[in-house]
Amino acid sequence: MAPDLSTRHELIGDLFPLPQTADAWDAYRLTDEQVAFYHEHGYLTGVKILGAEQVDALRDELTPLFDPTHDGREWWYEYHANESGDPQNVLFHSLGAWRITPGFHDLLWHPAFTVPASQLLGGPVRFWHDQLFCKPARHGGVVAWHQDYSYWTRTVPMAHLTCWIGLDDSTRENGAVHYVPGSHRWPLLPITGLAGDMEAIREVLTPEQWDQFQQPVAAELKKGEASFHHPLMVHGSFENRTDRPRRATVINAFRDGVRSDSNESLLSDPKSSDPIIIPAGEPMGGQFFPLLYTP
């Protein structure tokens, strides 16, 4: 059985070396203009996270994970070889790669992520969970319009952040994430599904929101670049009909001090033999929610 890497709260490889000087740490900081843009619009794109060798290493770790019988499969929180259920519109989606491979584990502590995340969150960064979203060439499916916090209300207060990192170039043609600028100021919307129906969200929008919804922005990225977005940002991505895949890894984090708001399992299947439970009202922490960075 492969070891569960969630027991290791430090770097276990050399893919993401930590800076050794204050100036080297500062090189990862966002500009004041970037931080202001995020707070005004609810998202920020084009942040360089990975170099070419790091992208290649993560791709190499990703490929065996597409086989549902791979070593370490017992550590996933969720695993969907195709969440859409339609073989003509495939969306590979999983949670928990950090527990399985050293590169996806160490990525959480990479200063190119932790330093900007701390600036946008306004404090120390604690890990929530990771995701893989992969769309194969020619028949890649959609990620329907949604707000991330709709799925995270078991934690309070809302002090969360998502970092979407491309392992391929991401374009309008192959299924780039699209954002609705300013929608992070909307209230929490009902969940309308994650894979399949791009039109379902219209049922829960007011006429004013629907008008604003008509002007989404495509977050086109080069491989290794990332976008950050607010937990209420309405976002989604369309199908991939190109001749190349669109693979991405996502890190979800929150500011230290966020608490559990549920007495049920926070990530793993509530019916599993090993549920992940933090009593309601208690601060998030422990084995599965490590502190990643303190400014």
pLDDT, tens digit (0-9, with 9 covering 90-100), for 169-219: 999 999 999 999 999 999 999 999 888 789 999 999 999 999 999 989 999
CA distances from 194 to 145, 148, 150, 203, 244 (A): 7, 10, 11, 15, 23
In the chain, % of residues over pLDDT 90: 94
| CATH number of the CATH domain containing 235 | 2.60.120.620
Is residue 129 included in any domain, yes or no?
Answer: yes
Residue 282, pLDDT > 80, answer yes
Structure tokens at 75: 């550590």
Overall domain count for the chain: 1
pLDDT, tens digit (0-9, with 9 covering 90-100), for 99-121: 999 999 999 999 999 999 999 99
Q: Are strands 246-255 and 217-218 parallel, antiparallel or unpaired?
A: unpaired
pLDDT, tens digit (0-9, with 9 covering 90-100), for 133-144: 999 999 999 999
Is residue 177 included in any domain, yes or no?
Answer: yes
pLDDT band of residue 273 (cuts 50, 70, 90) is: low
- Give the global pTM: 0.97
pLDDT number for residue 270: 60
Residue 272, pLDDT > 70, answer no
Residue 168, pLDDT > 80, answer yes
Is residue 26 included in any domain, yes or no?
Answer: no
pLDDT number for residue 268: 77
Residue 267: which of 283, 278, 259 has the closest Cα? 278
Residue 91, pLDDT > 80, answer yes
Q: Give the domain range for residue 44.
A: 38-66+78-280
pLDDT, tens digit (0-9, with 9 covering 90-100), for 235-255: 999 999 999 999 999 999 999
pLDDT, tens digit (0-9, with 9 covering 90-100), for 42-84: 999 999 999 999 999 999 999 999 999 999 999 999 999 999 8
Give every CB contact of residue 6 below 8 A, 6+ residues apart in sequence: 75, 98, 99, 287, 288
Burial class (CB in 10 A: 0-12, 13-18, 19+), 78: middle
Residue 271, pLDDT > 80, answer no
Is residue 195 included in any domain, yes or no?
Answer: yes
